[in-house]
Structure 1
Amino acid sequence: MTILLQVPATSASAVADSTANAAASAAAAQRLGLFDLVAKGGWVMVPIAFLFFATLYLIIERWILIRKQGKVDEGFVDNVKDMLLQGNVKSAESFCKNQRTAAGRVFEKAVGRVGMGTNKDIENTIETVGQIEISRMERNLGYLGVIAGIAPMLGFIGTISGIIRIFYDISLSDNISVGIIAGGLYEKMITSGAGLVVGVIAYSGYHLLNMMIERFTLKLEMNAFDFMEVLQKPTETARVR
């Protein structure tokens, strides 16, 4: 009798384990990976993917350039001022040229004007060359702004076209079910999510890079003020000239 009671119990346990394993297998089969989600987004994912890689390239390329060209060494302007006060204009010009940075090029042109024009001419030279260097840093940043606006709209276009397709299929089959609507809709919402992600990355990169340029501009203005202060002192100006 004891043996007969144990057999059903064992069979019930085996059935329960089998059911649990089957449920787990079904759940695993229903999971979607990132590549599967992207593939289900449709043709709109192709331009969105292109914009994504273009965004990464622009952000990395501009970040490297701005970080390198916007570097201003501590004591750079002080060294230039010391050389000018000692009358070593050529040495100061060579020192600025060897910096190989935006600030170095700005002050190289400014030092080259020392003794050849008025302080106002030197100040105008700093302002003009500074604007040129800032424009070089800002080059291609406008594309990030365009991508930040276009990518989300492309995602919405993909979603709207998918919804139109869903209702068109419903009109043909005359079958309104949650499965049909939800199954097609979640695939089309992928494009909206992808477009928003790309747009956020482009928007963030655009403003972060502009913040780096603004910091460089502030440093350049402070250094230009210190530089012009030397030239505006009568006794020191006489020594420079």
Structure 2
Amino acid sequence: MSLLLQAYPVDSVSQMQQTVNLAPVQEDTNLLELLMRGGWIMVPIALLFFIGLVIFVERYITIRKASRRETGLLPQVKSNVLSGKLDSAIAVCRSSNSALSRMLQKGLTRVGRPIKDIEGAIENQGKLEVARLEKNINVLGIVAGIAPMLGFVGTIFGVIQIFRDVEIAGGIDIGSVSGGLYVKMIASASGLTIGILAYIGYHILNMMVERVILRMETDAIEFIDLLDEPGS
């Protein structure tokens, strides 16, 4: 102990104790309070988060419902077509009320015309069904691009305000500057996080739509091959 006192004078030791005692105590801040410190820019960022969440949940449920495979639809349509019961086949499609059933129904209403006309009718109906599945998905892409930029804008405005306060005060207070930057970086972190989540959701929905399209195309080709068989 004496060696320590010799190495550090009493004044230095007392100053170190004061420094330790004067160290700022960190405040316990919950997530909501922390986000509210980001400033006015957090309002449009929160709005983008809400829009993106609603669109993702709504599209996910819709696409998931459309991706359910109706195992009995195509066999029933095939059986009725081979038996020459077109009206029954159309009735089966109407009762199903799915993307594939609407495509098959459009093709069945064209039976008797050239196969190219039937293919064109099914293809056009398929485009409409895909457009319904992809509705509002591009909005997620917009959110993914705008949210990080809004966060960055909030940080820039915050830095401008900090330096303006420094200019008015006529001096630099490291505590206020670092604290202000800490608060303003919340906007950038929030915008970037929401942008990443929207980007991930956008690609998840697109992959789900692609799987549905592939299955519809496969079933449509099988149906056209059935109509194109001799004697059908």
Identify the TM-score tier after normalising by the shorter chain.
0.7 to 0.9
Q: Shift of residue 70 of structure 1?
A: 3.6
* 2:68 is the counterpart of 1:95: no
Q: Which has the higher helix share?
A: 1
Q: Could you give the per-residue CA deviations for residues 91-137 of structure 1, whole angstroms, max 9, x where no partner exists? A: 1111111111111111111112112x111111111100000110111
How many equivalent residue pairs? 210
Distance 2:203 2:166 in 1: 44
Unaligned runs of 5+ in 2: 1-20
Partner of 1:126: 122
- Letter in structure 1 aligned against 2:76: N
Could you say which residue in structure 2 is the equivalent of 1:217?
213
Deviation at 1:191, TM superposition (A): 0.4
Distance in 1 between residues matched to 2:71 and 2:178, nearest whole Å = 61
Amino acid at match of 2:142: V
CA distance in 2, matches of 1:175, 1:121: 79
**Matched residues in 2 for 1:95 and 1:71: separation?**
17
Matched, 1:187 2:174: no
* Identity among equivalent pairs (%): 45
Aligned-residue offset at 1:37: 0.7
The one-letter amino acid paired with 1:121 is: D
In structure 1, stretches of 5+ residues that fail to align are 1-22
**Is 1:110 aligned with 2:123?**
no
The partner residue of 2:56 within 52, 56, 59 is: 59
Contact kept? 2:144, 2:199, Cα under 8 Å = yes
Secondary structure of 1:98 counterpart: helix
Which residue of 143, 147, 152 maps to 1:151? 147
Deviations 1:51-104 (A, max 9, x none): 111111000111111122343312422221111001111111111111111111
1:1-241 pair list within 5 angstroms: 30-115=27-112, 117-235=113-231, 237=232
Structure 2 CA distance, aligned partners of 1:194 and 1:229?
53
Distance, in Å, in 2 between the alignment partners of 1:76 and 1:195 is 46
SS in 2 for 1:71: coil
Distance in 2 between the 1:133 and 1:78 partners? 21
- Whole-angstrom CA distance in 2 between matches of 1:163 and 1:176: 13
Distance 2:91 2:72 in 1: 16
Q: Kindly report the root-mean-square deviation, in angstroms, between the aligned alpha carbons of the 2 structures.
A: 1.5
- Which segment is superposed worse, 63-72 or 218-227? 63-72
TM-score, reference length from structure 2: 0.86
User: How many Å separate the matches in 1 of 2:174 and 2:73?
Assistant: 69
Task: Answer yes or no: is the 8 Å Cα contact 2:152–2:188 preserved in 1.
Answer: yes
Structure 2 residue identity aligned to 1:40: R
Decide whether the 8 Å contact of 2:73 with 2:92 is kept in 1.
no
Deviation at 1:43, TM superposition (A): 0.2
